[in-house]
Structure 1
Amino acid sequence: MRLITVLVTIVILTQAVTLNVSAQSISQNFDRYYKALYHDREMNGNIAVAEKGRVIYQQTFGLRDEANQKPNNEQTQFELASISKLFTATAILQLKEQGLLDLDTPFAHYFPEFPYPTITVRHLLAHTSGLPDIESVIDPLLTANPDKQFTIHDDLQNVLLYSRNHDLKFQPGEQWGYSSLGYHLLGLLVEKLSAQTLANYTRDHIFKVAGMAHSYVQTSMAQKSEANRAKNYQYNNHFEMKLQWADTLSDWREWTYNLALETGGGGIISTTEDMLRFDKALNAGILIKQKTFEEACTPYRLNNGQPAQPFDLTYCGLGWFIFKDTSCGKIIWGSGANPGTISFFASNINKNQCIVVLRNRKCNSFNDLKALDMLCGKAVPYHSSLAFTYAQDLYKNGRVYADARLEKLCTDTTNYIITESDLNRASLEFRRAGLKSQALAIAETHIKLFPKSTGAFKDYALTLAEYGQKEKAIAAYQKALELNPNDHESGDALNKLTGKTKP
């Protein structure tokens, strides 16, 4: 008997050591990766990673308030943006469990004035309603009332106005189409059925239950100035890298002011630690039953029986996105983006792992998707954007220096990567700034590096045309069509330049 006890003890200790080694390895990989992001100005905020309920990596980067040089810390509260939709989905599913609603009941049953009678609650949850995103409804109204701050209490009337001149984008259930508007309406439904404001309902039935003491739904502009609240920043472009406070930028006023108090689709403020508590409560069946959670994390089936697929790698459930690849376990996730902020939340249900990344500086959101491989124990290298490095060199040091350094760095595939999307972005930013020589340099480099790319010649042609070099632009569009005869954008642009169609 004693021998058996000793053997069991050895097995338990061995498993504990293996777990610790695995957690330590994952932690080291995350630390290496996110420090590289920080040094490349792609990370400013907080990250937390947990496994089996235990935090295995946690780190803060940069400042929450640039003007006053206040650093981010573990208590910093960030804007979740569209991750807020997961909380609205949870609220709806709680009401379903209480028998207060049926997911397949038309939304118009609860709001008879709603103008699209075939849209169900489930359609709204899965982004398959055919409703547009919020900008399509709000933008025309802002023209007449630019100082209006919208809330979910305006959205039903806004949809009614929209419906007078617009059909749905597609019939409910036929396609997938992202709609924050749909989630604002779900927030309104929560308020009607619970007899509480969405902010109070979320506080009482989600935050308090999950132990999320530092989370809230933003209901006033004054909350943006609270002590632990991060201010949101973004760079003006990728060549000057001038940091700007998002709330001062007129181009983004619609999001930082007019839509700042919209809830349901956004509006939740939280911390990385609180988001880990949210994940733990969901997986433990504390917020909603396990069966309900499994339904939410199952791909929605369109009318034709195919799973709703918003992206190549991902299906969509009832609020949650679901990665197709299950080789490392079933991973569900959500993300958010607003001016100056990027948020990411992912949970590996099978391995009981969770990663939360909250930023108060706009950056490349795909970096966090790559980081998911580290939950499986893989080391993920980070590569700086060579296109943006080249753009900075062009702006600061001229083309001769920039071309020479580009040629050298192109061989450094360990630290750099050059992509067409980044080259397109750099070219666009120079054109917007009126910097002709730099924009042309980027476009010429694009076709040099990607000589068989239709996109490269299309970008080159667009740049040439914008600066009045018509004949060269025509030749570039012709080359784009030679590479891809089915590129209708190049064909249409070429016809306009040659006078075959009216501009």
Structure 2
Amino acid sequence: MNRFQFLSLTFQATWLGSLAVTHAYPAFKPVPQKQGDPDLDQLLPQLLKDWKTPAVSVAIIKDGKMSWNKAFGVRDTTTNEKVDVDTTFEAASISKTVFAYAVMKLCEKKIMNLDTPLATYYPELFAKGDARLQVITARQVLSHQSGLTEWRQSPSPTFQSDPTKEFNYSGEGYYLLQTVLTHLVGKAFTQPCETFESDYPVCATDFADYMQRTILDPFGMTSSSYLWSEKLARNHASAHDVQAKSFVKKHQQAVDMARYGSAGGLLTTAKDYAKFLISLFEGKDNDPYRLNSSSLQEMLRPQIKLRDDQKVDECNAWALGWGIRDLPAGRVVIHSGGQSGFKSLAIASIDKRSGFVALTNGDNGGHVIYRLADALGYPYS
């Protein structure tokens, strides 16, 4: 799977708007650009113009600190209100890395175990349907080895392969793991409830509050949230199609986050997400929120090698929540994201304590952020 196909994967859910899975973007054509020290003040506005993308927000990390943070373009092409570094975007699938961190912390606290079947913690959730549900573990989910499809295609979860047999990117696995996490340390409510894929019913939980309390607030991600609010509405980027025409999406609420929060529910800024990326560079012992060195090492350790026909973002392997890619300059962890109207990318070199995150509010945003990656020395061409 090439990077544009991956960026086109999206949730088929009402809160995300019109969401049939889209086709791959046109073939990527590299643009000549000096790598390592580009003039981003010129490059990024030009890329936005070339690819009909309304806005991009970027944060660059060097030597373990955020060294550059700017935003270009407009929040909405209808109003032409400009973005700034505090404008929030839908993070899409780079939300998965934040959830993976939360799961690793629960394992560190011995509330969960990476290799214990999830059915052990919540038997009722896995009591019906395919018998293979009984053996799925957190490790399999976070490394996309559960065998589950991207999202269920029937009232019960469906499988593409047996667990541990091969890499199959699955948002459904994240939902099941999120539901187990909520069962162990959160709260589930009896209302409001909605039906999602295949008329599957889901009721609201406190997942968003849990992530706010254990990740966003402790990491200083002050502009980030999983729930829509009046505060967020004051400076949030609108979704846009490939012609840079804005469209309205449902404002995400607790019931939506009970289904999709872990897989793609984070609303954030590049600056906030960079704070999370920096946390990957060094573990902290005896910290109530941050992972210790051993947990970090395990999270970022390759779990499965990817065949050429399985590759996402040209990754060689997948760790727990992150893709792994070996570049000429060294190994990086990487995750991209794409859902209706938004595209995103996060890359970090653990050894060099460097990386970047880019968020866009257009369906063409993948063209912008991958050319940016090329320019910054993380080649995709």
- Structure ranking higher in helix proportion: 1
The letter of the residue matching 2:319 is: G
The equivalent residue for 2:215 is 206
Q: Distance in 2 between matches of 1:99 and 1:225?
A: 35
Partner Cα distance (1:204, 1:357) in 2: 25
User: Which residue does the alignment assign to 1:444?
Assistant: none
My pick for the range that moved more, 125-134 or 48-57, is: 48-57
Matched-pair contact (CA < 8 Å) for 1:79–1:267: yes
In the TM superposition, 1:7-26 aligns within 5 A as 26=36
Question: Whose radius of gyration is greater, 1 or 2?
Answer: 1
Structure 2 segments unaligned to the other structure (5+ residues):
1-33, 188-205, 285-289
Distance change >3 Å, CA 86–CA 187, structure 1 → 2: same
Question: Which residue of 2 is the match for residue 329 of structure 1?
Answer: 330
* Structure 2 contact 48–368 (Cα < 8 Å) conserved: no
1:136 aligns to 2:145 (yes or no): no
Segments of 5+ residues of structure 1 without an aligned counterpart are 1-23, 138-160, 236-240, 248-252, 382-503
- 1:139-158 paired onto structure 2 within 5 Å: none
1:317 matched residue in structure 2: 319
Write the mapping of 1:23-34 to structure 2, written as runs, cut at 5 A: 26-34=36-44
Counterpart secondary structure, 2:179:
helix
* Residue 184 of structure 2 is aligned to residue 193 of structure 1: yes
Alignment of 1:379-398 (within 5 A): none
How far off is 1:224 after superposition?
Answer: 9.4
Structure in which a larger fraction of residues adopt strand: 2
Counterpart in the other structure of 1:229: 236
Q: 1:191-221 deviations in whole A, cap 9, x for unaligned?
A: 2222353222211221122111111112x5x
How far residue 330 of structure 1 moved from its aligned partner, in angstroms, is 1.7
Runs ≥4 residues deviating over 4 A: 222-225, 255-260, 305-309
Structure 1 pair 37/256, CA: closer, same or farther in 2 (3 Å)? Answer: farther
**Cα distance in 1 between the residues matched to 2:273 and 2:156:** 36
1:275 alignment partner in structure 2: 273
Work out which structure has the larger RCO, using CA pairs closer than 8 Å and 6 or more positions apart in sequence. Answer: 2
Normalising by the residue count of structure 2, what TM-score does the alignment of the two structures yield? Answer: 0.74
**Alpha-carbon distance between aligned partners in 1 of 2:89 and 2:374, rounded to the nearest angstrom:** 25
Which position in structure 1 is the counterpart of 2:369? Answer: 368
Amino acid at match of 1:245: F
Tell me, yes or no, if the aligned pair for 2:75 and 2:82 is still in contact at 8 Å: yes
Name the residue aligned to 2:134. 117
Deviation at 1:312, TM superposition (A): 7.4
Q: Provide the residue aligned with 1:99 in structure 2.
A: 110
User: What secondary structure, in the 3-state scheme, does the structure 2 residue paired with 1:210 have?
Assistant: coil
- CA distance in 2 between counterparts of 1:285 and 1:346 reads 18
Deviates more, 1:64-73 or 1:333-342: 64-73
User: Alpha-carbon deviation of 1:107?
Assistant: 1.2
Deviations 1:346-384 (A, max 9, x none): 111121112111111111525534533444499x99xxx
- Mapped to 1, the partners of 2:374 and 2:313 lie a distance apart of 17
Separation in 1, partners of 2:81, 2:314: 38
1:169 to 1:223, Cα distance in 2 relative to 1, 3 A:
farther
TM-score normalised by L of structure 1: 0.57
Pairwise CA RMSD: 3.1
